[in-house]
Structures are given as C-alpha cells and as structure tokens.
C-alpha cells in the first residue's frame, strides 16, 4: 500500500500495520465492527482505541473484567461510572493500575469499606481504607479486614483513645501497637509502655512524650536499648541520676550525653570513686589532684590542665615554662657565682616545682592538630613537639625542656581529626590515655604500644 493510500485510508483492515489499524479504529463508529475488533484484534493498542468508541456499557464492563491486557482493562475502567462494578473490579483485578484507578473513582465509604475488607490485593485494601474518614467504618475495618495493610492504614487514621489503648495492650503485631502508641496521649499508658513494652521502637516513641521524672530516671538507668536511655537523658536535669549514668552505663555515647547534661559539680568526688567507665587508678588520682577545673574532662574556659609530680596545677604551657625558666636562670646564676646549685631549696617561691609532668588534660575543640606526646618534648606555645637535646633560644623564644617520662595519664577532649597516625603516640609514655568526646577516624588502628589503658575509642 502506497503513502497516499495509507494517508487517505479510513477502513479498518486486520492485515494493515499497527499504526494504520489504530488510526482506523479511532475514526470507526460502527458498534458491531468495534465489538468484533475487541474480540479479534491481537494487539492491545488497537483494542485500547476501540474501547473509547464503544457505547454499550455491558460490553465495556465485560472488557474491564476479562480482557487479557491491563492496558485495555484500564481504559475500560476509565469509562465505567457504576461504583458497584468499579468495586468488583477493585476487589478482583490483579493489576495495581487497574484496581487503583477503580478505587480512585469511588467515593461511597461503605463500598470502600467492602473493598478494604475483601479485595484480594493488599494495596487495594490499603488504598480503599486511605479514602475513608468515618471512624466507625475504620474501626470495623480494624476488626474485620483480612489485610494487614488495611488494618495498619486504619490505625493511622483512628483517633479514639480507647481503641488505640486496646491495640497497644492486646495486639499481637508490634507494628500496629507501635503505630497506636504513637497517637496515645494518656501518659499512664505511655509510662507503662516505657517499663513493659518489649518493642524498643515503641519505648523510644513513648519516652519522647512522657514527663514523669521517675519513669524517665527508670528508663535512663535500666532500659536495655541505648536509644531509649538517650531519649530519657535528654529530658533529665537531675545531676544525681546523670552521674549515675555517667559512671555506670555500658555505652560510651550514653555516658557522653549524660556528661554533657550535667550542670553542677558540687560533691564531685562522691560520684567518681567507684567508676570503672570514666576512672581507673591513674585517672582517679588525676581528678583528686585537680583543684582548678570542674573535672579533668571539663576544663571550662581553659585549654589545658597540667599537673606535675608535686601536685601543682597549671592551665597553660606558658605558666609552666615561666617557672621552669626561672629555675634554669637561677641555676645559671648560681653557677656563674660559683654557688652550690640547689634550685629546689626551701625559701624559693618555686621550691615545690617539679619538672616531671604526670598528668595532662587538653581541650582540642575547634583545633585540628594533635601534638606528639613524647617522653622528652619541647614546650612551644600551645602544644608539645619533638625531642630537644638542649635548652636553646630561637626566634620563638626559649624552648623549655619538659620531661614526660613520668606521665601517668593523658586526657584528650573534643578532638576530631581524620589524619591520626602511629606517629602521634609511637613514643607516648603515658600509662593511661582517655579520649573524651573525641571522634578520631582510624584511631582503632593505632598501636598504643607503651600505654596500658586506652579508653573512649568506640
């Protein structure tokens, strides 16, 4: 057939190519011919076009029920307006586009309820339920639908507190109980859920809505799920409870959250003596010698806390250097005067000074470089640097020799770096290192070969 023949051809011919048959059917009005095409043409696109020109509703309904192609059935559904026929299709058709289109065209909630309870496809049940607003009907679906999808959708829409409480207390489905619990406002029910509900997700939701401090304290101290404990801690301000969490909780992130919430530091020593999470023997001694900051984990406005073997507290390297420098100058002067050298003699302001540092706690918040804590280090400005051999002057000033041979414990606070390596701790002689509120990528791969105890790396 030539181009002009195809251009002006109007008659349907089953032997023509697909596009010609579709064009011919679009212009065809003969009902008998259209019905014959619906029964005999083997291509769904042709039958899809034919259905639009059919006027007999019985034929359209039969196509919607029985055509093998969902495309043709969908086009038939678009034409049907009888809600009962649409409901039948919605309950029985296996293709989602067909049954969802049928449900979309139904507004009668009683018919929608029938679909929700009896459709063979779960998605059809859920879609029908989603269109219902009558709570009585929704409760009926909750009790009688065979579809878990429809029941869950009904629970999402039900507001009746008695019904929701009954679901929480009696449903065998954790999903339904959790959904119902999320909508309950009765605090006594929520409190019971925190204490007794086996579903950790339900307890997490319940803890976010209760205000009873006794229940919050109970959850913070006893719940087996760390996220429930975290949720409780967010709402607690009692330092006694928070310190009990800090000292006894098994999860580092929970202890850290409680620590961040503490606002008082009175009677601090009563909390620390029995803790193995925050304090071993070295850290406990560090804390007891600390008379300057809130704690060795909270330096307040200070960047560093240094304690020497005599128990002296320093809050900057400059303070430490100035004393050490005065002693070294005194030694030099005594030598020049041919006096007996005794820098630690009584009667000097610095007589209790020791050049052996035994404890360091340093705050690295908003800092991005970690110094190398080595056995013998130069003290320059903020941090510690590599092995000096002499006391010398440079453009930076006096480098003071700092002996870390006796370092017992090192606390590193609020450090977040991504390039930590063995170099930072290879020569560190501290017996104990505690990383407090620090996030160190790759830190678990570091070989702390000279350290007996390393804490705080999750």
| DSSP-assigned letters across all residues of 319-373 | HHHHHHHHHHHHHHHHHHTTPPP-TT-TTSTTTT--SBEEEEEEE-TT-------
Q: Is 368 a domain residue?
A: yes
Q: Is 439 a domain residue?
A: yes
Beta bridge partners of 80: none
Instruction: Write out the residue range of the structural domain in which residue 349 sits.
Output: 279-455
Q: Do 102 and 111 meet the contact criterion of CB atoms below 8 Å apart?
A: no
Widest pairwise Cα distance in the chain: 131
What pTM, to 2 d.p., does this model score? 0.51
Q: In the prediction, which pLDDT does 384 show? A: 36
Q: Is 52 a domain residue?
A: no
**168-195 CB burial, b ≥16 within 10 A, e <16:** beebeeeebbbbbbbbbeeeebbbbbbe
pLDDT tens for the chain, 458 residues: list them: 455 455 555 677 777 888 788 888 888 887 888 888 888 888 888 888 888 888 888 998 998 999 888 988 999 999 999 999 999 999 999 899 999 999 999 999 999 999 999 999 999 999 999 999 999 999 999 999 888 999 999 999 999 999 999 988 888 888 888 889 888 989 999 999 999 988 899 899 999 999 999 999 999 999 999 999 999 999 998 888 988 888 788 887 888 788 777 754 444 545 555 555 667 788 888 888 888 887 888 888 888 898 888 888 888 877 777 766 665 565 556 555 555 444 444 444 444 445 578 898 988 777 666 665 544 444 333 333 333 333 332 323 222 334 467 788 888 888 776 666 666 666 667 788 888 777 666 555 565 666 677 766 55
The rounded Cα 61 to chain-centroid distance in angstroms is 51
Number of domains within the chain: 1
Q: Is 115 a domain residue?
A: no
| Cβ atoms within 10 Å, residue 64 | 25
Q: In the prediction, which pLDDT does 312 show? A: 84
Q: In the prediction, which pLDDT does 272 show? A: 53
Q: Is 5 a domain residue?
A: no
- Sequence-distant (≥ 6) Cβ neighbours of residue 374 within 8 angstroms: 384, 386, 387, 404, 427, 428, 429
Q: Is 83 a domain residue?
A: no
Q: Do 374 and 427 meet the contact criterion of CB atoms below 8 Å apart?
A: yes
The values of phi and psi at residue 329, to 5°, are -65, -40
Q: Is 396 a domain residue?
A: yes
Q: Which residue has 């204490």 as its token pair?
A: 195
DSSP annotation of 300 reads T
Q: Is 410 a domain residue?
A: yes
Q: In the prediction, which pLDDT does 252 show? A: 74
Beta bridge partners of 361: 305, 411
DSSP annotation of 295 reads B
């Amino acid at each position: 057939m030539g181009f002009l023949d195809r251009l002006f051809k109007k008659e349907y011919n089953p032997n023509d190519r697909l596009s010609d048959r579709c064009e011919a059917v679009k212009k065809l009005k003969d009902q008998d011919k259209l019905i014959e095409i619906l029964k005999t043409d083997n291509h769904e696109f042709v039958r899809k076009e034919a259905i639009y020109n059919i006027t007999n509703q019985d034929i359209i309904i039969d196509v919607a029920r029985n055509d093998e192609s969902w495309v043709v059935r969908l086009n038939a559904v678009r034409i049907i307006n009888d809600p009962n026929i649409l409901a039948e299709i919605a309950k029985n058709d296996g293709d989602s586009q067909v049954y969802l289109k049928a449900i979309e065209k139904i507004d009668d909630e009683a018919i929608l309820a029938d679909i929700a309870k009896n459709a063979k496809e779960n998605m059809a049940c859920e879609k029908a339920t989603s269109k219902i607003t009558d709570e009585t009907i929704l409760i009926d679906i909750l009790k009688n639908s065979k579809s878990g999808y429809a029941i869950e959708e009904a629970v999402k829409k039900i507001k009746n507190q008695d019904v929701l409480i009954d679901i929480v207390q009696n449903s065998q489905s954790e999903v339904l109980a959790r959904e119902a619990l999320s909508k309950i406002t009765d605090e006594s029910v929520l409190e019971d859920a925190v204490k007794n509900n086996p579903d950790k997700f339900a307890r997490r939701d319940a803890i976010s809505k209760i205000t009873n401090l006794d229940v919050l304290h109970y959850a913070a101290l006893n719940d087996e799920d760390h996220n429930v404990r975290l949720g409780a801690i967010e709402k607690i301000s009692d330092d006694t409870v928070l310190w009990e969490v800090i000292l006894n909780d098994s999860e580092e992130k929970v202890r850290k959250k409680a620590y961040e919430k503490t606002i008082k530091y009175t009677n601090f020593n009563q909390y620390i003596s029995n803790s193995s999470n925050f304090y071993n023997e070295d850290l406990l001694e560090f804390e007891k010698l600390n008379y300057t900051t809130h704690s060795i984990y909270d330096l307040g406005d200070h960047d560093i806390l240094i304690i020497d073997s005599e128990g002296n507290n320093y809050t900057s390297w400059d303070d430490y250097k100035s004393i050490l420098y005065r002693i070294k100058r005194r030694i030099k002067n005594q030598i020049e005067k041919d006096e007996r050298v005794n820098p630690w003699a009584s009667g000097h302001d610095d007589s209790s000074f020791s050049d052996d540092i035994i404890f360091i706690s340093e705050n690295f918040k908003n800092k991005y470089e970690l110094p190398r804590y080595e056995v013998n280090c130069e003290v320059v400005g903020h941090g510690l640097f590599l092995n000096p051999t002499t006391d010398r002057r440079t453009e930076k000033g006096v480098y003071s020799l700092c002996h870390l041979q006796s370092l017992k414990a090192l606390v590193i606070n609020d450090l977040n770096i991504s390039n930590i390596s063995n170099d930072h701790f290879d020569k560190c002689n501290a017996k104990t290192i505690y990383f407090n509120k620090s996030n160190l990528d790759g830190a678990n791969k570091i070989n702390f070969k000279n350290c007996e105890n390393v804490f705080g790396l999750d």
